[in-house]
Amino acid sequence: MADDAIRCDACPVLCYIKPGRTGSCDRYGNQAGKLVRLDPHVVLDRALERGQPVVPFLERSNDWDGSLMSHGETFVTAIGAGTTYPDYKPAPFIISSQVEGVDMVTVVTEGIFSYCGVKVKIDTDRHLGPECSAIRSEGEAIGHVTTSEYGSQMLSLGGVRHLTGGSRHEGSATCDALLNLCNGNAVELKIDNGAKVTVQAGKPPVVDGAQEERMRVGCGSATIGMFAKQWFGKVDEVVVVDDHITGVLSEHQAGKLLGVPETGIKLKGRRSTPGRYFQVAEPGTSWGGTNIEDPLSILGKFNAKKAWPGLRLLMVSTTGEHYAYFELAEDLKPHEAELPANLRESVARIKENCEPALCTVLFMGGAGGSLRAGVTENPVKLTHSVRGSLTRVTCGGAPVYVWPGGGITFMVDVARMPRNAFGYVPTPALVAPIEFTLKLADYGALGGYVESVRPLSSIAATEDGRKRVNAMPDNPWPLESAEVSKKK
Ligand code: SF4
């Protein structure tokens, strides 16, 4: 180029980059006329994890004896490895190693994912918004509320429709939120007809400005089942208030087996089975994830034939955060009284059994597309190899779950990956590291680029810009394949 700009061909944007400048995604730059991947290339080392002396990565490479295989204690991740585009070129790094006498190869690339998103699990019983409600970031819809799970609200964010199917701003707001969540940063989300939630992987959620402390112990029915014995004899009736299943001790099977007498209590809502009520109130952020501030509002009149003056009633939420104690007056109306000391312990026990509330962020991407062509000339063979467990897929060295069925659709917990492992390109799409590790013999059999296989030491000796990171001790070592484990 006349102005010394060089062309980056690592993604479809094909930026022209002037000397000293970076391309649109800030991943590549022009350094003295050379196209350079700007973030350090991350290499995992498990020497520390195993209590072995740490040898600086580059020093180790000086000891290279020219053999093709390295010792298997270092794993080249795809973080900062770069991308090849178009995909039919071999992946940027195809690295050999020897693990327990087995020749292995790891194919490493930063995949560009238009088909990707994150699944967010938020441990809270507070109602964040109706199912299917749009979730917004920077005012743009970037996902929706999906079916809640036990003690947690679930969000589905991103996906190809939000990335590519709407306006340019919707696509970039989606990409930006996904990138921040995957890189471990906090993102503020607004749910239509619902709450404002701050989400950060591995941190407690913040719902409408209040940090969530604990997730619920279980639904109302489960709570009755768990604690019925501790209430028996100390109180005549217990109602555990819950958005989904509210439990009533005297009607519940747990109360029946203990011999708790009928109390003539009447609950609003729909009776599912004895002692289990649905829809006692609207969802909300108060008692047990409902909208009620006054627990008595979910009770009807006590049946005068069964109830008696002085009847002791405990109402408690599924986290123990809300509780109130009542006694029936002569007119059988409940009057609030101080919680007796012998019931305090059971309320504290509910709290004690609630786990800390956290946000979990799983990146989900489809690697069954064109990036396979950087691994093999016959892409479907890679899919079959992954399906047959001959090829291990990792994401920045972290284990992934590959969905059954077609394609290579995987999920990874971003908290198990090195921080800032993700990037983006302005198409817009997310850039995620992906590594395929398999036996060298299997790699040849699936039509891999065997001529491009090179030892770890060869890249270490000739290129700089690498960063050694200690492997996470809780992650399985990516070079220890099932085959190798079997051989041990
Ligand atoms: S957006 Fe980034 S990867 Fe794509 S061409 Fe520009 S600099 Fe290269």
Q: In 279-311, which positions are buried (b, 16+ CB within 10 angstroms) versus exposed (e)?
A: ebbebbbbbbbbebeebeebbeebeeeebeeeb
**What pLDDT was estimated at residue 285?**
85
**What pLDDT was estimated at residue 52?**
55
Residue 324 CB–ligand 1 contact under 6 Å:
no
**For the segment 283-299, what is each residue's pLDDT rounded down to a tens digit?**
888 998 899 999 999 99
Of all protein residues, the one whose alpha carbon is nearest to atom 2 of ligand 1 is 25
**For the segment 39-90, what is each residue's pLDDT rounded down to a tens digit?**
989 988 886 556 554 444 444 444 444 444 455 678 999 999 998 877 788 9
Residue 27 CB–ligand 1 contact under 6 Å:
yes
CA of 9 to the centre of ligand 1 (A): 7
Residue 426 CB–ligand 1 contact under 6 Å:
yes
Residue 398 sits at the vertex; the CA angle it makes with 396 and 400, to the nearest 5 degrees, is: 110
DSSP classification of residue 395 = E
The whole-number average pLDDT for the span 137-166 is 96
pLDDT-derived band at 163, boundaries 50, 70, 90? very high
The topology (CATH level 3) of 116-211 is Elongation Factor Tu (Ef-tu); domain 3 (2.40.30)
Cα 100 off chain centre by? 33
Residue 440 has φ and ψ, to the nearest 5°, of -55, -40
Q: Which helix (H) or strand (E) holds 462?
A: helix 456-462
Residue 429 CB–ligand 1 contact under 6 Å:
no
Torsion, CA 155, CA 150, CA 201, CA 118, rounded to 10: -30
Look over the chain and give the mean of its residue pLDDT values, rounded to a whole number: 90
**What pLDDT was estimated at residue 50?**
60
CA 376 to each of CA 89, 417, 482: distance values in angstroms, whole numbers, following the listed order:
9, 26, 21
Which tokens in the block code for residue 474? 């809780």
The whole-number average pLDDT for the span 144-166 is 95
Strand partners, 54: none
**What pLDDT was estimated at residue 459?**
73
CA of 37 to the centre of ligand 1 (A): 10
**What pLDDT was estimated at residue 445?**
94
**What pLDDT was estimated at residue 460?**
64
**For the segment 3-13, what is each residue's pLDDT rounded down to a tens digit?**
789 999 888 89
Residue 25 CB–ligand 1 contact under 6 Å:
yes
**What pLDDT was estimated at residue 68?**
41
Is pLDDT above 50 for 280?
A: yes
Percent of residues, the chain, with pLDDT higher than 90:
76
**What pLDDT was estimated at residue 46?**
80
CA of 186 to the centre of ligand 1 (A): 26
* 8 A C-beta contact, residue 368 and residue 375: no
Is pLDDT above 60 for 422?
A: yes
Closest residue by Cα to residue 77 from 474, 473, 396? 396
Ligand 1: which of 6, 13, 39 to mutate, most ligand atoms within 8 Å of CB?
13
* 8 A C-beta contact, residue 477 and residue 471: yes
d(CA 100, CA 475): 19
CA of 109 to the centre of ligand 1 (A): 15
Residue 23 CB–ligand 1 contact under 6 Å:
yes
**For the segment 220-248, what is each residue's pLDDT rounded down to a tens digit?**
999 999 999 999 999 999 999 998 999 99
**What pLDDT was estimated at residue 51?**
59
The whole-number average pLDDT for the span 112-119 is 96
d(CA 286, CA 267): 18
CA of 82 to the centre of ligand 1 (A): 10
Lowest mean pLDDT among 25-39, 109-123, 245-259, 314-328: 25-39
Question: CATH 2.40.30: which residues of the chain?
Answer: 116-211
Is pLDDT above 60 for 458?
A: yes
**What pLDDT was estimated at residue 469?**
87
d(CA 178, CA 113): 12
The whole-number average pLDDT for the span 148-164 is 95
Burial class (CB in 10 A: 0-12, 13-18, 19+), 108: buried
Which atom of ligand 1 is nearest to 7's Cα? Answer: 5
Ligand 1: which of 7, 24, 431 to mutate, most ligand atoms within 8 Å of CB?
24
CA of 432 to the centre of ligand 1 (A): 14
pLDDT-derived band at 455, boundaries 50, 70, 90? confident
The whole-number average pLDDT for the span 255-265 is 97
Of all protein residues, the one whose alpha carbon is nearest to atom 5 of ligand 1 is 14
* 8 A C-beta contact, residue 292 and residue 298: yes
* 8 A C-beta contact, residue 50 and residue 459: no
Which tokens in the block code for residue 484? 């190798």
